Amino acid sequence: MADPYLEITKLDAFYNDFQALYQVDMTLSEGEVLAVIGSNGAGKTTLMRSISGLINNDAKQVNYKGKFIGGLRADQVACLGIALVPEGRQLFPSLSVEENLLIGGRLGRKGPWSLRSVFNLFPILKERRMLPSTSLSGGQQQMVAIARALMANPDLILFDEISLGLAPVVIKSIYEALPNIVGEGISAIIVEQDISKALSVSNRVYCMQEGRVSLEGASQTISREDISHAYFGIK
């Protein structure tokens, strides 16, 4: 059996004296899509920040392609091929859509994603490429955040709350684009509060509650009853 592409082992994470994650174990295979679900405060965003280097951890708690990366800075992690689409999008407000995208490509990694290919994925961005990024709607800004991450040509992309605060029609269009993203050989972890959406696009799902993994299983076979128990802590 092949070694995991990403392996998280007994991960603890802290914000000063507050512990946000407790002994989290998780694996991801090459080309796999994982969904991470859970209520607000469950630790999902902290997990994404830990993988991407925004929170410093013990080096051996995060293993990516056989390399311990838990102690690396975010820029070092990005150079290894991990890109984060952060919660809240976090675009550069003084820059245009195109300038935001070009920043994503500054790592110089080779791959299929370029301005042309992300504009093909999200045609509305090509139409609005010269506009200030923050003049776009929330859904269009989310497209910019996704496209910016793709411009880095990552091997692993982390989507943190991909549909949070967006209209249903926008969420639908973004999820329709996902197969074209992971179809390019990218592995993905999707943090999502919409359980149905998460299950529909993932191979496996992890449920988190109060900083711990409360359930793990195959997305197509895991029962809604088990998810409800794990999500809400119902015995």
Is residue 156 predicted with pLDDT exceeding 80? yes
Q: Are 190 and 182 in contact (CB under 8 A)?
A: no
At 146, is the secondary structure helix, strand, or coil?
Answer: helix
Look up the pTM and report it.
Answer: 0.91
Relative to beta strand 204-209, strand 212-218 is antiparallel
The answer, yes or no, to whether residue 85 has pLDDT greater than 70, is yes
- What residue type is 187 in one-letter code? S
CA distance 26 to 103: 30
List pLDDT tens digits, range 87-110.
877 888 889 999 999 998 888 788
Residue 45 has pLDDT above 70, yes or no: yes
Q: What are phi and psi of 114, to 5 degrees?
A: -145, 180
Provide the pLDDT confidence category of residue 84 given band limits of 50, 70 and 90. Answer: very high
Instruction: Say if residues 108 and 70 touch (Cβ distance below 8 Å).
Output: no
The residue type of 50 is: S
Contacts of 81 (CB under 8 A, 6+ apart): 109, 153, 154, 155, 156
Question: CB atoms < 10 A from the CB of 119, how many?
Answer: 18
The domains of the chain, with CATH numbers, are 6-91+155-232 (3.40.50.300)
- Of 102, 138, 94, nearest to 118 (Cα)? 102
For the segment 111-147, what is each residue's pLDDT rounded down to a tens digit? 899 999 999 999 999 999 999 998 998 888 989 999 9
